Amino acid sequence: MMPAVSADLSKRLIPDELWRLVAPLLPSFAARPQGGGTAPRDQPAVFTAVVYVLTSGLCWRHLPPTSGTSSATAHRRFTVWAEVGLWRRLHRAVLDELGVRSEVDWTSAIVDAASVRAKRGDR
């Protein structure tokens, strides 16, 4: 049995301060002009479910039913958010917020790189 996404875990994953940065970056829901379809899901619940999957290593299909959204909805939103650049913009917003608070130390950095041997032969 998979663990449930509790209210306590939700607050630890997405504290109010983080939600204030995330909320304006999320694409808004547009109702279909012809009507029908399903009602939009609770954005904080979907975002929390996505972060839960990403930070736990859980498979999308194992998202607990108590998360407030289906695994299909969470995965679909993750995909849409990735396509519109949410994660890059959120990363920037967090860095900007930390910079305003003087909580980022830019005096050191870590660079990750790979070195690949050049092929020999004709050019």
Q: How many CB atoms lie within 10 A of CB 47?
A: 25
Rounded distance between C-alpha atoms, residue 10 and residue 53, angstroms: 12
- Tens-binned pLDDT, residue by residue, of the chain (123 aa): 344 556 677 788 899 999 999 999 998 876 667 766 666 678 898 999 999 999 999 999 999 888 888 899 899 999 999 999 999 999 999 999 998 998 888 787 778 877 777 777 655
Q: What is the pTM of this model?
A: 0.73
Rounded distance between C-alpha atoms, residue 7 and residue 96, angstroms: 28
Both tokens of 96, joined, read: 């900007």
Query: Is 102 exposed, middle or buried (CB count within 10 Å of its CB: 0-12, 13-18, 19+)?
Result: exposed
Instruction: Give me the amino acid identity at 100.
Output: V
